[in-house]
Chain A
Amino acid sequence: MTRAPEAVQHYLDQFASVAPTLPGEDVPWLKRSRASAIRRFSDVGFPTPRNEAWKYTRVTPIEKRRFSQPTTAPSVSPDSVERFHLAATDCHRLIFVDGQYAESLSSPGELPDGVVIERLARAIERFPEELASLLDDSGSGNAGCFGALNAAFMQDGAFIHLGKDAVVVDPIHLMFLASGKQNDIVSHPRVVILAERGSHAAIVESYVSLDECVYFNNVRTDIRVGTSACIEHYKLQQESRKAFHVSDLRVHQSAGSAFHSHSISFGGALVRNDIGVALDAEDALCTLNGLFLADGRQHVDYHTRIDHLKPSCTSKEFYKGILSGRARGVFNGVVYVHPGADRTDAQQTNNNLLLSKDAEIDTKPQLEIHADDVKCSHGATVGQLDEDMLFYLRSRGINESAARGLLVYGFARDVVDRIEISAIRNRLADTLLSRLPVDVQVKEIVG
């Protein structure tokens, strides 16, 4: 037997040593699923630029490092995580430190009847049969390298089950914190959300770090939105500048359901987000809003795909990127209207701002239509600040430097303003001011 490339072998060796400690060791289907996933990883290896989906994003920096999965979590004081809470909002909060559940920091709170919010490791023990169809990976051959790694190594995360007509009023906040106590840690968080008929909740996944350390988050989230259910999903990636972050969000929608996604990425050494939504029954609605910022030598990549499988569904996608320094951005958005998906209404927009001559974006909106009577539009722009806007502000006495800053801030704020939860909106507005290259006067103006 030939030995796998070193980078792949590293994870095979890791698997051999940590597998016995992972949850579900005594759950036969899960054990099988993990074994099948690691085999698949061994077969596919890391993607190269020859793979169309990874054409603009090289993962060699991830391959080169020897990340390892810890089995114990360092202790982190409640004070140090408080700044990552959603201010002024009561939340059902689960906190994970370096991929592991931190019970002392978490507060799941009181839940309405029919609602389960449970850390995944415990959910596997409590609901092994229920989770089998959602987690068993042995049959799927399409999740690729990072999906396979997550399926093999997943250690914890969250299981959220909203029973029929259940409504959770306060946001459910899942916080994944990197402690920075040790470099080269990898975690494979897995989130499963099952929203039954008529249920409604807002779920926030935030990825944060205490220190500027090197680590790797390889995230997988699956959401099933049942008939007439409504899920608002927020993913806030605000990590160490040296962090590696790969995530895959898969959504399946039933008839008359609504799914609203807001994905905000503030950059890292390498950030890759895949989002796939299947509109699999009539009258389903999805909105995908996104904002990404990158500076220095950061790299942020968004790949989204919306499948219109059935008639009369609506999708609205609105993504913006702001790049400066020598940063690199990628937006690849596919809207696929399948045969029979008549009366589809699909809009896709991607606008990008390049603030330096060395920043670069590759944007590729793709619309494929195989049905009749559809209303589809897409467009992408790449550019600098708008001269008309700049003159308008200056003609009102706002000096050039402040006007430029205000326009950069406004460009980003336009996405943030679409967020329903004011605590998240305000939090992000503050972050934008500290992260964007804007004049100090802008802070006074919008403060």
Chain B
Amino acid sequence: MPDPQSSLAQRLGAAARSFVKWLVIAAKWTGRMLRHLGIALLVFGRALYDPAFARAFNRGFDPASPQGETGARPPAAPAPLPLKPVPAAPLATLDKAPPDSALLLLGLFQKEARLVDFLQQDVADYSDQQVGAAARVVHQGLRRVLEDHVTIAPVRTEPEGGRVTLPAGFDPGEVRISGQLVGEPPFRGTLVHGGWRATDLHLPKVVSGRDLGILAPAEVEL
């Protein structure tokens, strides 16, 4: 009969090793994800305000795609991003990327909600009350930005937790299905999250040559 104590130690050791292994994998993933996040934000932001880009993206980056018929492009719009798959772009080139609406949006988040200030601080050094007070500034400000600049509506208006039916031909871009995924539509399931859709985006028009990398200018009082 094996010694129960050593067996426990062995099991703990194995668990710890496997935990560390997972930790390393998780760290690698996180690094990769962070890099992807930058790219994703860039593409997401651009797609949000530039309908033509969004459509081109949907069609697999057809560079010959016509401009959006809304004509809502700011006059000072940056040169279009190269319309090819971008995942290979390393993070470092982001700094040199032309000004784009992701930076503009981030600038608005900083101006109205102090988001960059908030994220640049280490919350571990402060009490929950202090973090909470600052979070109010961020929350109120972000809400204002969303109210002012983005029109947001739920994708599905049914109450969350209720049953919904997805007919044949539903748009998998709008509704992500999971779980017992077998058979043919119509699918019946529980609405777990109603989703959000930005139906409209009205970002400021930007003067050409404006350095959008300046998310917040330094302030000097005379």
A and B: interacting chains: no
Give the interface of A toward B (CB within 8 A): none
